[in-house]
Copies of this chain bind each other. A is one copy, B any other.
Amino acid sequence: MRLSAIATHVGGRLVGQDVEVSGVSTIDEARGHEITFLSNPKYRDKAERCAAGAILVKEPLDTDLPQIIVDNPYLAFAATLTLLHPPRRHAPGIAPQAVIDDRAEVCPGATVYPFVTIGKGARIAAGAVIHPGCFIGEDTRIDEGTILYPHVTVYDGCEIGARCIVHAGVVIGADGFGFVWDGERHRKIPQIGRVVIGDEVEIGANCTIDRAALTTTVIGSDVKMDDHVHIGHNVSIGDHTIIVAQTGIAGSARIGAHCVLAGQCGVAGHITIGDGCTAASRAGITADLAPGAVVSGYPAMDHRRWLKCQNVYKDLPELLKRIRTLERRLDEKD
């Protein structure tokens, strides 16, 4: 593809020769037929000496390399990647080895691969792709263009919006964890709610999102979840929130929009996290957070506070010695 075509696609300005590139790569690994990008100015020198065929940059480099000048090189890079490596097309149609209830609706333009089960009352919209081995329960809804990778389970009554990507092994709508002790054993609280997921949500491999006890577990639009994330029953997650791998959200927690929960975080049940909060890796959030809070640690506290506490924590053995010294000096004064 010619650089001029890429420049047009990403809304950039070509400086240098209008050569062709056929791939994308990192500054370190790009060869002559590949385009790369410079996002972090600290790699500017590296970029000027790189072996790529072209580069996406914000400020022109001092190099003969053909450059496409754009506001956001990383975003332009993503767009170029999609241009050069368009997502795989799936031929629409229903595999003969799928088992689809007569009362389910698979719209024309959807793809259903072998060994898929679709229950009565389910609706699979046009452009949806259901990979082998998926289970789609009764009265479910999979909207336009949504891709379910292999072995995804969607329990009865759950809904997934449009243009979502659900990776392999994800379980949507399993029973929430609710029991009551009857004096002799735990009695199950039937979990009769459901899960409703917005549009353009991506859910990483082997995540679990439990159905609500009575109402709805809600995942907003443009939420992005990494692998192994657990979402308990009745949770709601606001639009655009990012949840990194192995994080767990306990039942009835409410997470705002535009939050970022880094890897291996935990959120306690029934708390409310405001919009735009950030939790560093491993934060264990046990109380409500005001919008925009940035927290770390367990129990989570203000991130800068946590850094200070950890800074003293790592010197605790010396602190103990200083206290002993003080005691001795004071004893000598007595």
Residues in B neighbouring A8, C-beta threshold 8 A:
none
A residues with a Cβ closer than 8 A to B are 24-26, 29, 72, 74-75, 77-79, 81-82, 85, 87-88, 95, 97, 99, 113-115, 117, 131-133, 135, 149-151, 153, 155-156, 165, 167-169, 171, 174-175, 177, 179-182, 185-190, 192, 200, 202, 204-206, 208, 210, 214-215, 222, 224, 226-228, 230, 232, 240, 242, 244-246, 248, 250, 263-264, 266, 268, 281-282, 284, 286, 298-299, 301, 305, 308-314, 316-317, 319-320, 322-323, 326-327, 329-330, 333
Residues of B within 8 A of A168 (CB): 135, 153, 155, 171, 174
* A202 and B188 contacting across the interface, CB-CB below 8 Å: yes
Q: Which of B75, B113, B131, B177 contacts A244 (CB 8 A)?
A: B177
Residues of B within 8 A of A153 (CB): 149-151, 168-169, 205
On chain B, the residues within 8 Å of A81 by CB distance are 189-190, 192
**Copies of this chain, tallied across the complex:** 3
- The answer to whether B323 touches A242, judged by C-beta atoms less than 8 angstroms apart, is no
Nearest CB of B to A48, in Å: 21
Contact status B322-A319, CB under 8 Å: no
C-alpha gap A75/B188 in the complex (Å):
9
A331 nearest CB neighbor, chain B only: B329
Which residues on the B side are within 8 Å of A115 (C-beta)?
A: 99, 114-115, 117, 133
Complex contact B97–A226 (CB within 8 A): no
Q: Report how far A228 CA is from B26 CA in the complex, Å.
A: 30
Partner of A174 from B135, B167, B284 at Cβ < 8 Å: B167
Please give me the residue from chain B that is nearest to A150 by CB atom: B135
Q: Could you say which residues of chain B place their CB within 8 Å of the CB of A190?
A: 78, 81-82, 85, 87
- Are the CB atoms of A319 and B313 closer together than 8 Å? no
From B151, B177, B245, B286, A204 is in contact (CB under 8 Å) with: B177
Say yes or no: A174 contacts B186, CB within 8 Å: no
Contact A135 B117 (CB under 8 A): no
Taking a contact as CB atoms closer than 8 A, the residue among B150, B214, B248, B286 that contacts A245 in the complex is B248
Q: Name A26's closest neighbour in chain B (CB-CB).
A: B214
